[in-house]
Amino acid sequence: MANLSLRGLDAGTLARIRSSARRLRVSVNRLIIDTLQRQYAQKSRPRDQLDELAGTWSRREADEFEAAIRPFSEIDPELWARQDSASYRVRSRRKRR
């Protein structure tokens, strides 16, 4: 087993760690080890990054996704026609001399 030393931990963070350890009835060391193992264990790590999904879809899955989101890229002209033209007009800035 490796030993690890933490330096520069602020008092507030240490207090929250100690409080959590007391609440869970474990040592600070056990809490930190469990937390690190849960976060960095290869086998049980939950997917939380889209990078892990990149390239994993089949062509059929990609096509289905594209078809499902296609309507969101269409602009409905009637929605814009009902808008007051001043509501989306951009005023140009005056040039400074």
Query: Could you read off the pLDDT of 47-81 as tens digits, one per residue?
Result: 566 666 667 788 898 899 899 999 888 887 777 77
pLDDT tens-place string over residues 6-32: 899 999 999 999 999 999 999 999 999
| Helix-helix angle 11-24:28-40, to 10 degrees | 90
Which three-class secondary structure state does DSSP give residue 24?
helix
For residues 20 and 31, is the Cβ–Cβ distance under 8 A?
Answer: yes
**Residue 39 token pair:** 């976060």
The pLDDT, as a whole number, for residue 56 is 78
pLDDT score for 82: 63
Which residues, 6+ apart, have CB-to-CB distance to 26 below 8 Å? 34
Between CA 4 and CA 64 the distance in angstroms is: 48
Q: Regarding predicted confidence, which is higher, 8 or 84?
A: 8
Nearest to 20 by CA among 9, 31, 10: 31
What was the pLDDT predicted at 31?
A: 93
pLDDT at 66: 92
Q: What is the pLDDT of residue 71?
A: 87
What's the predicted TM-score (pTM) here? 0.43
